[in-house]
Amino acid sequence: MAKNPDTTPARRASDRGRYGRLSRERVLASALELVDREGLGALSMRRLGAELGVEAMALYRYAEGKEALLDGLVEAMHLELQARLDAEGPATDDTPDWRADLHRFARTLYNVCVAHPHAVPLLTTRLLAVPMARRPLPVLRSHERVLALLEKAGLDEAGTAAAFHACVAWLLGYVSVELRPMVDNPDEPDPAFRLGLHRLPSQELPTLRRTAPALAERGGTKRLAAGLDALLDRFTDSGPTAS
Domain boundaries, the chain: 19-63, 74-236
Q: Return the axis-axis angle of helices 98-115 and 220-236, rounded to nearest 10°.
A: 140
How far apart are the C-alpha atoms of 128 and 105, rounded to whole Å? 22
- List helix spans (H) across the chain: 9-14, 24-38, 45-52, 66-88, 98-115, 120-129, 137-152, 157-178, 191-195, 206-216, 220-236
Tell which residue, 99, 222, 114, has the closest CA to residue 150: 99
Which homologous superfamily is 74-236 in?
Tetracycline Repressor, domain 2 (1.10.357.10)
pLDDT in tens, the chain (243 residues): 444 444 433 344 355 555 567 899 999 999 999 999 999 999 999 999 999 999 999 999 999 889 999 999 999 999 999 999 999 876 554 445 899 999 999 999 999 999 999 999 999 999 999 999 999 999 999 999 999 999 999 999 999 999 999 999 999 999 999 999 999 999 999 999 999 999 999 899 999 999 999 999 999 999 999 999 999 999 986 444 433
CATH number attached to the domain at 19-63:
1.10.10.60
